[in-house]
Homo-oligomer: A and B are copies of this chain.
Amino acid sequence: MFKSYNIVCMKQDKEVTIYDIADYLNISAATVSRGLKDHPTINKKTKKKILEAAQKLGYRSNAFASNLRTKQSKTIGVIVPRLNSYFMSTVIAGIESIANEEGYQLIISQSQEDEQKEAANAITLFNSRVDGIMVSLAANTKTTDHFKPFLEKNIPIVYFDRVVETPDSLTISIDNYKAAFEVTQHLIDKGCKRILHLGGNVNRNVYADRLAGYKAALKQAGLPTPDNLVFFSNLSEDAGVEAANYINNLKQKPDAVFSANDTCAAYCMIRLKQLGYKIPGNFLFAGFNNDPISKVVEPNLTTIAYPGYPMGQIAATHLINHLKGIADISSTNSVLLRHELIVRASTQK
């Protein structure tokens, strides 16, 4: 009878608790709790006994109870505009690698480039009591009011890539201004005089800074920057095609194109080639991101490489160090990662 009862017990959902371990070893639950952690005042031998018993009885700690008690979740929330872009998924991979190592869970959600959804996701994360959040902003996000609840509760926020400088939070990005300046300077060095820019939503730092860097380089070189040399879009594949058509219709053609991302650049190039233009013969081309397609499109695309994986790792490391009390986020305002100009055939005449 006993035996079958036991078997039933094993098979059922009876979770083993620290009390079961305590009973089994004839000690108190408090001691078991200590033994399971790295509590300073615990006898090494009893700790060993406890660990063995836990193993033997099939114990697994109950995070809910622990979280309820300690009021922290060991969970980090992540909000990104889209998961299915090469760069973002690389960043997430980097974040995951650190979080996993440090024993933090990741709750990931996408804003679909929409401020409303970003706010909704923020609330959800807030309610699930994440210990901190990492955010890359949606294209149309105007304010960061929806993150205020976090600040009020001292839940740290790290912005990455598409950032906004605020007190109390950290931003991780590259120097988009400088990178764009360098690309543009590279085109100027190649002798270009009319460089067209394919720009993104200037609401976001990444695109505003790239535009500014582009303009600054032109200005420094004494080149004019007429309005019709900047073509704004969402930088999608379709936008690239439209940009090409736009260029085709321009009376005074540019001699180079600098796109704020590689996708738009690639599709613009492809369309221009269809229209009979030669690249780099008629236009030099440069993109941004070092997306996989930049190495496949013909001619290969000159671009700015910046490391998504490390960016994710660094962002996660800062956040977790802050949570662990090792380093304070608010002591640093922003971290700039190194970028690199990758010169390829599209700018080699």
Q: Which residue of B lies closest to A73 (CB)?
A: B64
In the complex, what residues of B have CB within 8 A of residue A154's CB?
A: 13
Counted per complex, copies of this chain come to: 2
Interface residues of A, dominant DSSP: helix
Q: Which residue of B lies closest to A130 (CB)?
A: B105
**Does A24 sit at the interface, judged by CB under 8 A?**
no
A286 to B308, CA, bound (A): 30
Quote the shortest CB–CB distance from A344 to chain B (angstroms): 13
Binary interface encoding of chain A residues 73-84 relative to chain B, with 1 for a CB under 8 A from any of its CBs, else 0? 100000000111
**Does A330 sit at the interface, judged by CB under 8 A?**
no
B100 touches A60 (CB 8 A): no
Q: Which residue of B lies closest to A70 (CB)?
A: B64
A60 touches B107 (CB 8 A): no
A84 touches B73 (CB 8 A): no
A270 to B97, CA, bound (A): 32
What would 9 more interface pairs be, CB under 8 Å, given A84-B93, A108-B108? A61-B127, A64-B64, A64-B65, A64-B68, A84-B309, A92-B108, A96-B110, A100-B124, A293-B296
Show the binding face of A for B, using Cβ within 8 Å. Answer: 11, 13, 60-65, 67-68, 71, 73, 82-86, 88-90, 92-93, 96-97, 100, 105-110, 121, 124, 126-129, 152-154, 263, 266, 270, 292-293, 296-298, 308-309
